[in-house]
Chain A
Amino acid sequence: DIQMTQSPSSVSASVGDRVTITCRASQTVYTALAWYQQKPGEAPKLLIYAASTLQTGVPSRFSGSGSGTDFTLTISRLQAADSATYFCQQGDRFPPTFGHGTTVEVK
């Protein structure tokens, strides 16, 4: 199975800051990469798919980039509502596999 490694495991930032989360795949996944946001007590929510395509309704301050093995999720102007855990997931090879998550704390 393809291993997905996220970093950092947690980050603390202030409202208005730019936050970047990285996800690395153990082998190329081309652009078959999705990002999810999960708030405490809730189900995950799809933010981005195909590495950089914003899911309908997701604020434009979220963006994704990358291809091959290295990907990033960027929150351009952090809001209090962005406090959550973020997961990446590869969809190139079955079975799909997830990163372990990055917790974003808004100071």
Chain B
Amino acid sequence: QVQLQESGPGLVKPSQTLSLTCSVSGASIGSGGYYWTWIRQHPGKGLELIGYIFYIGNTYYNPSLKNRLTILADTFNNEFSLKLTSVTAADSAAYYCATMTTSVYIDHWGQGTLVSVSS
């Protein structure tokens, strides 16, 4: 059973960098088969795909975040990460890491981590 756990600060100051890590168990990031995905949800709103990494080097970034976003995979520690620079209050949201299958549905989710951008 794949399990995912997000970690990172719950509070980030405006203009700083948000860094989150997703620890994975029950599957190997380096083995393919999944898109290792980040999704966020603003309070009371819908789901927004942030981006994903696939086969380590292949990434997709939401165009609205592309200039500020980096998603990396660490096969040694079996985790993947998100870095979002120059954050503003609009980046305050619940952030989820997830596994998206090659059939493009999301079958495992982390519990989510709430991030607030505030001075």
Q: Can you give 27 A-B contacts (C-beta < 8 A)?
A: A32-B103, A32-B104, A34-B105, A34-B106, A36-B106, A42-B111, A43-B98, A43-B110, A43-B112, A44-B47, A44-B106, A46-B105, A46-B106, A49-B107, A50-B105, A55-B107, A87-B47, A91-B103, A91-B104, A91-B105, A94-B60, A95-B60, A96-B100, A97-B49, A98-B46, A98-B49, A100-B45
What chain B residues lie within 8 Å of A87 (beta carbons)?
46-47
What chain B residues lie within 8 Å of A42 (beta carbons)?
111-112
* Chain B interface bracket (under 10, 10 to 19, 20 to 34, 35 or more): 10 to 19
Flag whether B36 is at the interface (Cβ < 8 A): no
Q: Shortest Cβ distance from A46 into chain B, in angstroms?
A: 5
Bound Cα distance from A94 to B102, whole angstroms? 11
Interface residues of A (CB under 8 A from B): 32, 34, 36, 42-46, 49-50, 55, 87, 89, 91-92, 94-101
Among the listed B46, B103, B106, B107, which residue makes an inter-chain contact with A101, where contact means beta carbons less than 8 Å apart? B46
What chain A residues lie within 8 Å of B47 (beta carbons)?
44, 87, 89, 98
What chain B residues lie within 8 Å of A46 (beta carbons)?
105-107
Among the listed A36, A43, A55, which residue makes an inter-chain contact with B111, where contact means beta carbons less than 8 Å apart? A43
User: Of residues A55, A95, A97, A100, which shows the largest number of chain B Cβ atoms within 10 Å of its Cβ?
Assistant: A95
Q: Cβ of A95 and Cβ of B109 under 8 Å apart?
A: no
Interface residues of B (CB under 8 A from A): 45-49, 60, 62, 96, 98, 100, 103-107, 109-112
Q: Cβ of A95 and Cβ of B103 under 8 Å apart?
A: no
Give 7 closest A-B pairs by Cβ, nearest first. A91-B104, A43-B109, A34-B105, A49-B105, A98-B47, A100-B46, A43-B112
Among the listed A91, A95, A98, A101, which residue makes an inter-chain contact with B62, where contact means beta carbons less than 8 Å apart? A95
Q: Shortest Cβ distance from A74 into chain B, in angstroms?
A: 19
Bound Cα distance from A101 to B18, whole angstroms? 27
What chain B residues lie within 8 Å of A50 (beta carbons)?
103, 105
What chain B residues lie within 8 Å of A49 (beta carbons)?
103, 105, 107
Q: Cβ of B62 and Cβ of A43 under 8 Å apart?
A: no
Q: Shortest Cβ distance from B29 into chain A, in angstroms?
A: 19
